[in-house]
Amino acid sequence: MRKFIPVAEPLFEGNESKYLVDCITSGWISSVGKYVTRFEEDFAAYIGCKYGVAVHTGTAALHLALAALGIGHGDEVIIPTLTFAATANAVIYTGAKPILVDVEKDTWNIDSQLIEDKISENTKAIIPVHLYGHPCDLDKILEIAQKYNLAVIEDAAEAHGTEYKGEKVGRAGTISCFSFFGNKIITTGEGGMCLCNDTVIAEKIAKLRDHGMKKDKKYWHDEVGFNYRMTNLQAAVGVAQTERIDTFVMRKRENAQLYSSYLSDVEGLILPTEKEWAKSVFWMYSILLKKDHYRITRDDLIASLKKEGIESRPVFYPLHKMPPYKQNGLFPNAEYISVSGLSLPSSVTLKDEDIAYICKTITKYLHT
């Protein structure tokens, strides 16, 4: 029987074990330890930001970013409707309201041409999500933000190493947020980080991360904060993963090129795009089945691949379709992508023959 090919899995072939043993033998295993600081510094430097604040999830990073900017009850934050629920949840945690915008047909990212129509006197921020590793149209988003005096919080949970016009995403906005969940390009199991270039904002995020406790007055809390700290154990894994991030990004892109070489001539499939100004990391290599082109549906294909030992996943549901986030409006692109798209195995552990087998199996079922 052929081996099971997961949609994502981590790779630990660097210094992960060495650094973890160092944590354990030293006794520094909680949120104080040299690896937390080192991870913050190393990852911030990789992206090109001055400050990094490590936290225990990517969702916590988004929540802290919003809280540090004072966003709360009565405020509105513009986000794409096609994204993981964490983007909206973080807004709701603050008491603010997420305002949903449709996405572009080709990049699947927030359609910057539709943002201004959603801005009101209550709008305080925009969260562009670099979905599946392709960058958003940052110039246009930043132009709108400057015009209306809005903060920009880049949701780069899936975009470690993604570039927009030659610079890594995560350095252009007011704050950027990354996730280090187990399926991300680098992982700490669970984890996240806020990055920024503003000393005051960085200190505010760090304070809120640690229960709102004053840095220079132990156990004195002058505001309500959160327990969002990252452990030294997690950070040790993060340091080791960051040491190899360029290798991971390169392999992701090689996988995407190989997928495209096998699937580009398959009629009825729409493959992921990469704009001329973009460097995508193809966090998940995700394809679309053209509407009514095949007798087999997207869900049928997922089920058929599973029988062959290949895990795949549907793309995200649009937020406006789900009860907690339901909003009126027209979101045709997000709806089409959601019912037609699936993500294929995208791990850096994939072998060339795995990709060849996956593509051969897809082609077989599409023409059944």
Give the pLDDT of the chain (368 residues) as one tens digit per residue. Answer: 568 999 999 999 999 999 999 999 999 999 889 999 999 999 999 999 999 999 999 999 999 999 999 999 999 999 999 999 999 999 999 999 999 999 999 999 999 999 999 999 999 999 999 999 999 999 999 999 999 999 999 999 999 999 999 999 999 999 999 999 999 999 999 999 999 999 999 999 999 999 999 988 999 999 999 999 999 999 999 999 999 999 999 999 999 999 999 999 998 999 999 999 999 999 999 999 998 788 889 999 999 999 999 999 999 999 999 999 999 999 999 999 999 999 999 999 999 999 999 999 999 999 87
**Type and span of the H or E element at 225:** none
123-126 vs 76-80, strand pairing mode: parallel
Distance of CA 81 to the CA centre of its chain: 14
pTM over 0.95? The answer is: yes
Angstrom distances, CA of residue 8 to CA of 97, 182, 241: 32, 8, 16
Burial of 222 (0-12, 13-18, 19+ CB in 10 A): exposed
Whether 364 is catalytic: no
The residues, ordered by sequence, that sit 6+ positions from 78 with a Cβ below 8 Å of its Cβ are 98, 99, 101, 110, 115, 118, 119, 123, 125, 126, 127
Angstrom distances, CA of residue 349 to CA of 10, 288, 353: 8, 24, 12
Secondary structure (3-state) at 211: coil
Which one of the listed residues 97, 124, 184, 279 is annotated catalytic?
Answer: 184
Q: What gap in Å lies between CA 234 and CA 328, rounded to an integer?
A: 41
**Which of left, alpha, beta for 161 (phi over 0: left; psi -120 to 50: alpha)?**
left
